[in-house]
Chains A and B, each alone.
Chain A
Amino acid sequence: KPTSPCIDPKRLDPDDEILLQPFHGSRLHRVIKLLSEFGNLSQGVSSSSESSKHPYGKTRLRHTQCNDEIQGYVSSSNERYSKQGSSSPTLERTRGRLKSKRKNKDGAESSNGEKPLIGKRILIAEDNKMLSILAITTATQLGADVEHCENGNEAFELVCDGLKAQRNYDYILMDCEMLPMNGYEATRRIRIEEERYGVRIPIIALTAHTSGTEAIEAGMDAHLNKPLKTNELMEVIESIETKE
């Protein structure tokens, strides 16, 4: 092995993990699993262990399995660093979907009143580019972490991924008129899938001046007219929260 002559075990910290193999793929996944953000609960455990010299033990690395969430994190990081630019100064693309370039600063701003949606994850399903920009910016300005997709199919897939990973959106803003799958159909499918997990994500319909009856029948929780307005969004969210 090319690295073996260079490593002097005496100079290594016994708490360190050592991998003498190319650092990618499944090995990368296993190492990421050691981070507390990805479920490693044993950080901070005392280092005195009878079973092995190393507190985590080499067996740890070998026995963890690939996790879909890590896969997602790794591939989305790759996309973020890719050279794919965007003509919009306010938006960028991550995994082919629009995201606001505005970063919400970590830690709530002075008062939660300014950013009432801080820490909330919102999915916006909208096919019109201008309306998407408006909705994404509106929600981001309120403090939310926003994801975007362009049709009902993608929305359904993203929600399913979230259900499996047990990491769900806090709200979904669903345009009703999308192709090939519209918002009503996507919502119906989402509700069926959610039942398997005992979960119900609040879905807010976005329509172009129609009544909300079809939205409610499809299983949506509320209905707003396009274009999205900040105060209307907050009113609807507050009414959803008080019902629960």
Chain B
Amino acid sequence: MFSEQAAPTAQGLLSPPSAKPPTFPRVPVSGYSDCSQPFQLGERSFSRQYAHIYAVRLAGMRPGLEQRARSRWGNDIALRKLSELQAGEKCCVVGTLFKDMQLQPSILQEISEEHNLVPQPPLPKYIQPSDELILEDELQRIKLEGAIDVQKLVTGTILAVYGSEQDDGKFLVEDHCFAGLPPPLPWTGPSSDRFVLLASGLGLGSVSGEALLSTQLLVDMVTGQLGAEGEQSCAAHITRVILAGNLLSQNTQSRDTLNKAKYLTKKTQAASVEAVKMLDEILLQLCTSVPVDVMPGEFDPTNYTLPQQPLHRCMLPLASAYATLRLVTNPYQANLDGVRFLGTSGQNISDIFKYSSMDDYLEILEWTLLAGHISPTAPDTLGCYPFYKSDPFILTECPHVYFCGNAPHFQSKLLQGKEGQQVLLVTVPDFSATQTACLVNLHDLTCQPITFSSFGADSED
């Protein structure tokens, strides 16, 4: 956007300003509705076990999977529960996957005295060739082997397998299928170019302040204080900014003060206090000009389990005076100008990355959409609230834009579904590392990266 429209007016940078300073009104917000109610927790009771969330996940996704199994393998296939299996009979079973991994961090192994083990250091990936897949339904479980990629799949996925039980008690899989893309939503997007800026991983409070200049450039660009009239008119088309998590840096999470004696740490402040003040000032500059949605991330001061609740507005006293600031949950779902956005701050994708052979964040993002669930590894390896009534992470409607924050690079892809679904998949990169944000065009569902790099002392050009 910027390069095409700014080029003709580039000479404006070296000429005196025009006699009458032009104003660029920002495109008005025409339609916004927040659809994140399922992710907002009311009363929180942790006295329940996680069996409930798995039971409702299976019960909720079973009808859709049975329908997909019928359409894929024929209407007359036998749908059996594990307790009804007969050896040698070809049938289809719907259940939850469990991946038995040797390297999976287990608190019981760590504290077990007979092993005398040192706690395992965190690894980038915990997969091993000896991992096994087990299918569970409401009552029983069975080992899976055959035409199924053990390394790729993760615990908690609901899928349908077609095959037969062998004599040794294992299930030989001939084919399997997932829930597939959810049903499409009607498209009521805007008729002209409208942009939404997606950024994540601002990483405030880190030791090095290199990303601060890029953050300030981002803010200045969005508020129209950078560039000549060309850039300013482009920036006026940005209707919203979504900050997808990790506003604070990982450095603010240090817990050294917990181990020291009280008399040494009495006057020290948590690093996150200073970082939140910086965040407040940055958000103040943004909120005076554009609506901002702030999602919490892994290192932000909110709860750890998914769904993360919005940051409290008392932490941002200056910015929360403006109605343009919206503190939202992670995951976040909303209708912006008729376009349905759904996204997370990236914890679900990075958790699947650790336990699966898939390396590409965009591939994992697409896979979660095809599996019909935002975060199948919750609650196994990712903290999750013990829901009992329904699993809010099941995808019931297909969003138009599906994003995840804090990815290593920027990637985007337009996915077309068989029932007319069109989804723009975006992996928003970590801003503190890559200084890149994403501009999503709501009119034609395209996405372009925008990089705010500064020239450091040791860079060549």
- Chains A and B belong together in one complex: no
Q: Which residues of B contact A (CB under 8 A)?
A: none
